[in-house]
Amino acid sequence: AMPEVTELRVALTVSDFEQAVAFYRDALGLEQLEDWSSDEGRVILLSAGRATLELLDEAQADLVDQIEAGRRVAGTVRLALEVGDSAKMAGRLVAAGGHSVAEPITTPWGDRNARVEAPDAMQLTLFSPA
């Protein structure tokens, strides 16, 4: 049977649209699927591969932040993106205007994770599976 939900789309409102496009599309490499911009406002749709919704309680969110960044740093929403080389991608995103939150680490579950804050203050976990 077909599931009720067939796509998860994160709608991110940003104050500097050009900077966000340069960061997410150009530096991170998300493929642009659509441009629905008009005289009333600007919007593009970027593909980020398969989407999942990870629900964490406060204790687990705190633990993940402690592992990845050494302290509680993320807000209610954090994007986690699987990439080929998390350290290399983190460097690319910092060069594109992001801020390194913590150096890449190997997690207890074996992934190589890096934490970056986007220019719009969105926290990103970049992970490369073991």
How distant is the alpha carbon of residue 46 from its chain centre? Answer: 12
Residue-level pLDDT at 101: 97
Lowest mean pLDDT among 50-54, 113-117, 123-127: 50-54
pLDDT digits (tens, 9 = 90+) for 76-124: 999 999 999 999 999 999 999 999 999 999 999 999 999 999 999 999 9
Residue-level pLDDT at 4: 87
Mean pLDDT, the chain, whole residue set: 95
pLDDT bucket at 1, cuts 50 / 70 / 90: confident
Q: Are 94 and 100 in contact (CB under 8 A)?
A: yes
Q: Are 54 and 79 in contact (CB under 8 A)?
A: no
Residue-level pLDDT at 112: 97
Residue-level pLDDT at 33: 97
Q: Are 27 and 95 in contact (CB under 8 A)?
A: yes
pLDDT bucket at 7, cuts 50 / 70 / 90: confident
DSSP 8-class letter at 69: H
Is residue 2 predicted with pLDDT exceeding 80?
no
Residue-level pLDDT at 5: 85
- What count of other Cβ atoms lies within 10 Å of the Cβ of residue 75? 10
